[in-house]
Amino acid sequence: MSTRPGRVAAVRESGAGRRPAAWWADAVFYQIYPRSFADSNGDGDGDLAGVTSRLDHLVRLGVDALWLSPFYRSPMADGGYDVADPCDVDPRFGTLEDFDALVAAAHERGIRVTVDVVPNHFSEQHPWFGEALQAGPGSPERDRFVFRAGRGPGGDEPPNNWPSVFGGPAWTRVPGAGDAAGRRQWYLHLFAREQPDLNWDNPQVRAEFDRILRFWLDRGVDGFRVDVAHGMAKEPGLPDLDLSVVPGPDAGIVMPARADLRWDRDGLHEYLRGFRRVLDSYPGDRMAVGEAWVPDAERLARYVRPDELNLSFNFELTQASWDAADLRAAIERSLAAMAGVGAPCTWVLANHDVERTATRLGSGATGRARARAAALLQLALPGAAYLYNGDELALPNVDVPDEALRDPSWERSGHADRGRDGERVPMPWSGSAPPYGFSTTPDTWLPMPDGWASLTVAAQRADPASTLHLYRAALRLRHRFRGGPFAWLDAPPGCLAFSRGTVEVLVNAGAGAVPMPAGAVLLASGPLGDGVQGGGVLPPDTTVWTRRAGPRRR
């Protein structure tokens, strides 16, 4: 067990000012996709020792905590979200000793470590699934998963009409001879065929996840990101759903409709309470953040009721267009819903499942400028913030060639959905050609593009106007917001403006320049301009933080 972080935030008042806030309530978390962060052994895959070797980048960046996407034993059918042994490190990522060394090194630097837990499904290669196939229908082994008889003559059709998120049906028929009548059951997988869903009604499943949480808590982790928290409970009877509410294959991962019976069932909250009981039985403010793609902010707030998860990702900003009214509405909805349950908001611009911000909001220089402006918006909002590795470089998505695509959605959708590899390309650290210091082999697990020389960490470190310097400055200044009440301000058309205590934030998402606020500039996401009458102007696609001055605008 490693030491606790040295830079422990004191208990302080939350933005709402009502209850004392723990370290995570306004922390900046940095998501590491281990396969794409840093490769220490030259096999083309990132690994845990690679993460340890690059921790100083994260110290200089100023993040409070890491979230490591899965590094557990896995056949990698879904980038490690198909877990075959949740209490061991996959050899491609290193060993448990490497993990312990990473936690110790992070804690020494005052950085907390959180890891993924994947409770909705296991890998088909988890021993339980093999046992279930062996044991046959009606067995306790099958009851840990969701096995059902098929419909139609001979049970040849899936038990219901649910599609999988990655395309195709959410059911696969088990291999083998079947029962005396030759009937074979089907098993449910909301994701890939290789990811059988677990049955959380089964007490063995719940006990096993208590054990998994304890295993990592005992090794010193500070918390968890709960994968697909919105899928853990299944609708009783597994009825058909109205397929017109299901997003198409190229929609990506999106907020589901309320009528989509696959998600957000009320029964899951009892399971999350179980997670919370385990967390609270450990000292040191351990936490969990939920991945819950749910229809609206009110449903999201249910995941962070006082005895459930501590945080729940707010994906509204990953879906909002670059439009002041849209952004403001997304923020208002989220703040209101979270205030109702006394939980902080958890702002997300990007992750390994959604297009990178610099591509989603535009292309080339426009996309980059908007990504920078969005970062200063995200980091000024009250609550916690999650960054995705590469955000601090304003990396764009990459057009990965067909033959290099690895995401299961590509095959499962019959090549209709290119999947998420474009946002998972390895990090460029230095140099002027692939693999840009990520590895010693150019044969990286996803190919790295030409033309990234100016985007590397080394290049951006040398350029004071770079996105890397912008993020560093923003994280340095962020303490100024701590406990600062949030209030909307009047804003010019196309803009949104708010104050956080003594700081004023103006985001120009419109088409023309607008007058600068009166106070001194603390930080701007891009160059500022001169107005016709000598006053400064804020150009489009730019956010500025200013010190609040003089008579207040309302």
260 binds ligand GLC (CB under 6 A): no
Of all residues in this chain, which one has the CB nearest to ligand GLC in the complex?
81
Nearer to ligand GLC, 253 or 518 (CB): 253
197 binds ligand GLC (CB under 6 A): no
72 binds ligand GLC (CB under 6 A): no
353 binds ligand GLC (CB under 6 A): yes
Q: How far apart are the first and last CA of the chain?
A: 51
What's the closest the beta carbon of residue 271 comes to ligand GLC, in angstroms?
16
Place of tokens 């989220």: 334
The catalytically annotated residue of 47, 141, 291, 353 is 291
Pairing of strands 503-508, 529-530: unpaired
What's the closest the beta carbon of residue 530 comes to ligand GLC, in angstroms?
45
Convert residues 363-402 into a mask of x (bound to ligand GLC by CB under 6 A) and - (unbound).
----------------------------------------
Question: CB of 510 within 8 A of CB of 465?
Answer: no
What's the closest the beta carbon of residue 228 comes to ligand GLC, in angstroms?
5
423 binds ligand GLC (CB under 6 A): no
Question: CB of 147 within 8 A of CB of 172?
Answer: no
Q: What residues between 81 and 110 interact with ligand GLC by CB under 6 A? A: 81
Nearer to ligand GLC, 253 or 458 (CB): 253
Task: Give the Cβ contact number of residue 181 at 10 Å.
Answer: 7
Select the residue interacting with ligand GLC from 45, 47, 64, 78 (CB under 6 A). Answer: 78
Three-state DSSP at 554 gives coil
The catalytically annotated residue of 227, 308, 407, 504 is 227
In single-letter form, the type of residue at position 377 comes to: L
Count of residues of this chain found to bind ligand GLC when the rule CB under 6 A is applied: 10
194 binds ligand GLC (CB under 6 A): no
Q: For residue 68, what is the DSSP state?
A: E
Nearer to ligand GLC, 208 or 353 (CB): 353
Q: Where are the beta strands (DSSP E) in 389-525?
A: 486-489, 495-500, 503-508, 514-515, 521-524
**Shortest CA distance to 332 belongs to which of 349, 309, 350, 316?**
316
264 binds ligand GLC (CB under 6 A): no
**Shortest CA distance to 334 belongs to which of 306, 313, 355?**
313
Q: Is 222 part of the annotated catalytic residue set?
A: no
The CA distance from 339 to 331, in Å, is 12
The CA distance from 510 to 521, in Å, is 20
Q: What residues between 114 and 153 interact with ligand GLC by CB under 6 A? A: 118
Select the residue interacting with ligand GLC from 33, 191, 322, 481 (CB under 6 A). Answer: 191
Residue 300: left (phi > 0), alpha (psi -120 to 50), or beta?
alpha
Q: Is 227 part of the annotated catalytic residue set?
A: yes
Q: What residues between 429 and 458 interact with ligand GLC by CB under 6 A? A: none
The CA distance from 90 to 72, in Å, is 5
417 binds ligand GLC (CB under 6 A): no
Backbone angles phi, psi at 279, to 5 degrees: -60, -45
Pairing of strands 503-508, 542-547: antiparallel
Nearer to ligand GLC, 294 or 457 (CB): 294
In single-letter form, the type of residue at position 531 comes to: G
Residues in contact with ligand GLC by the rule CB under 6 A: 78, 81, 118, 191, 227-228, 253, 291, 352-353
Catalytic machinery residues: 227, 291
